[in-house]
Structure 1
Amino acid sequence: MQDWYKLAREQTDDILEAIKEQSFIKELMNGTLSKEVFQFYINQDAMYLAEYKKILATVGVKCEHVDDTQFFLDSATGIINVENALHQIFLKNNQLAHVPSPTCELYTSYLSRIVSNHSLEEALAAVLPCFTIYKEIGDYIQANQSNKADNPYQDWIDTYGGEEFATSVNNAIIITNKYAANASEEVLQKMQTAFEKASKLEWMFWDSAYNKEPWKI
């Protein structure tokens, strides 16, 4: 299989389109998203990224090729830098929350389980949507917004619609395709399932942020 990602992307196109239609994304693009909702999102994202960078480092250690290992270790380090920059812009004097929402907890726990207990191929597929969907949403917003000069969330938008992030996403796709090329049909199916679940969790993450999802008990 020469381009596993292309096929996986086509089979999950409905999820990406559903994300574009979310109130969170529409209001973020228009600059009308409430500060309270975005603040909740940034807090949850910080807790997600704190776990995601560990997960990426674990994926890197499992890779067979040194360049692939280095990519994921660099990505984990890069998250720290991006995280700090966005927090300085958007958190300012607001205190960072320390209780993940149910969806945040579910997403990071799912990724951790796949990366720790399943094949490298599945792990690569599971962590990929956080790269690719953020890039596609960043590009989508930049292409469709008319308020770049006065959108209060433009720094966030530009982070994920920028060239530096695009390079990182492309590298993650190339690495995943490389391992998929030699995978069995059974493993390829498991990769597709992992990619689809993680994509759905991306939708759930933004939905939970928009609704400021609480623990019900």
Structure 2
Amino acid sequence: MLFQRLIKENSKIWDAYLHHNFVKKLENGSLAMENFLFYLKQDYIYLIHYAQCYALLALNANNAKELHFAMKFQNYILEGELELHKSILKLGIDAERLSVKDESIVNIAYTRYMLNVGQSGDFLDLLVALSACAIGYGYIGKELYEKLGAKGLENHTYREWILTYSGKEFQDEIKEFEDFLNSYSNQTSKEKFDKLNTIFGAVVRLETAFWQHALTMNLEI
């Protein structure tokens, strides 16, 4: 399967992404609220660009099936994740007033990289670029829930975030994403896989950098 091949080729950085210190601190509740809010603020901005990437994915679609996939996931981000972030950000940040001047360099690097992949490559290139975030969060959410359980989440500081990414709705969406990506497994030449592998490696590294900059809270490098 294509996605499993990509993980295998990038196993070290994939593990660093899924088990980053930010995730560990979020799991055990030791993550400072100021770090979490910094992350949410950047992720809110990120998700706007991420949704734009799905619009670009739709433009790159070769058939109705690909178009439907792109539009469905764009809608999920706009109505699901962005609304979750907006509700949590009400703790101290007005999400509607965020703009490019609030965007970190890491955020700019990541989102513009994905947009560039979509503009210079094809549907599958951008699909792979989008996969690290979508599927990775599904893996993280599932693992955190399995470790903590319903009892461990009862009074957990980050309960809402963990339940969102471990919940059935998100997990079903991510399974659909992974299955859809894997449907291209037999259509990928060695040359094409090498290109996809380069893209995947880059976005996984950028995901890891995103966690890290939430710990340091640096807008610049």
TM-score by length of 2: 0.90
Whether contact under 8 Å (2:60, 2:122) holds in the other structure is no
SS at 2:7 equivalent: helix
Deviation at 1:88, TM superposition (A): 0.9
The 8 Å contact of residues 111 and 123 in structure 1, kept in 2 or not, is answered as yes
Instruction: Name whichever structure is richer in helix by fraction.
Output: 2
What is residue 136 of structure 2 aligned with on the other side? 133
Structure 1's 175 and 78: CA in aligned 2 closer, same or farther, altered over 3 A?
A: same
For structure 1, list consecutive stretches of 5 or more residues without a partner in the other structure. none
| Gap change, CA 1:144 and 1:86, over 3 Å in 2 | same
- Pick from 207, 210, 214 the counterpart of residue 205 of structure 1: 210
Give the equivalent residue in structure 1 for 2:163: 158
Once superposed, what is the RMSD of the aligned Cα atoms? 1.7
Query: 1:26-67 CA distances to partner (integer Å, 9 max, x unpaired)?
Result: 110111211110010000000000000010121123222312
Q: 1:102 aligns with which of 105, 119, 122?
A: 105
**Residue number among 55, 58, 70 corresponding to 2:56 in the alignment:** 58
2:179 paired residue number: 174
List per-residue Cα deviations over 1:131-179 (Å, max 9, x = no partner): 1111111112112226311112111111111221122212222222233
Q: Which residue of 1 aligns with 2:24?
A: 26
What CA distance in whole angstroms lies between the structure 2 residues aligned with 1:22 and 1:85?
22
Bigger CA drift: 19-28 or 69-78? 19-28
- SS of 2:184's equivalent? helix
1-structure distance, mates of 2:213, 2:117? 22
The Cα offsets for residues 85-111 of structure 1, whole Å up to 9 and x where unpaired, read as: 332134334223432111100000100
Amino acid at match of 2:144: I
The CA distance in 1 between the partners of 2:142 and 2:75, in whole Å, is 23
Provide structure 2 residue ranges, at least 5 long, that are not aligned to the other structure. Answer: none
Residue 11 of structure 1 deviates from its aligned partner by: 1.9
Whichever residue aligns with residue 142 of structure 1, its letter is: Y
CA distance in 2 between counterparts of 1:4 and 1:173 reads 9
Indicate the percent of aligned positions where both proteins have the same amino acid. Answer: 24
Matched residues in 1 for 2:29 and 2:35: separation? 12
Say if 1:29 and 1:141, in contact at 8 Å, map to a contact too.
Answer: yes
- Alignment partner of 1:181: what SS? helix
| CA contact 1:15–1:199 (8 Å) conserved in 2 | yes
Residues 119 and 180 (structure 1 numbering): CA distance in 2 closer, same or farther, change over 3 Å?
farther
Instruction: Tell whether the 8 Å contact from 2:138 to 2:171 is kept in structure 1 after alignment.
Output: yes
Runs of 4+ with >6 A deviation: none
TM-score, normalised with respect to structure 1 = 0.91
CA distance in 1, matches of 2:3, 2:112: 23
In the alignment, is the contact (CA less than 8 A) between 2:18 and 2:136 conserved in 1?
no
2:123 matches 1:120: yes
Distance in structure 2 (CA, Å) of the matches to 1:21 and 1:74 = 29
In 1, the alpha carbon distance for the partners of 2:88 and 2:27 equals 18
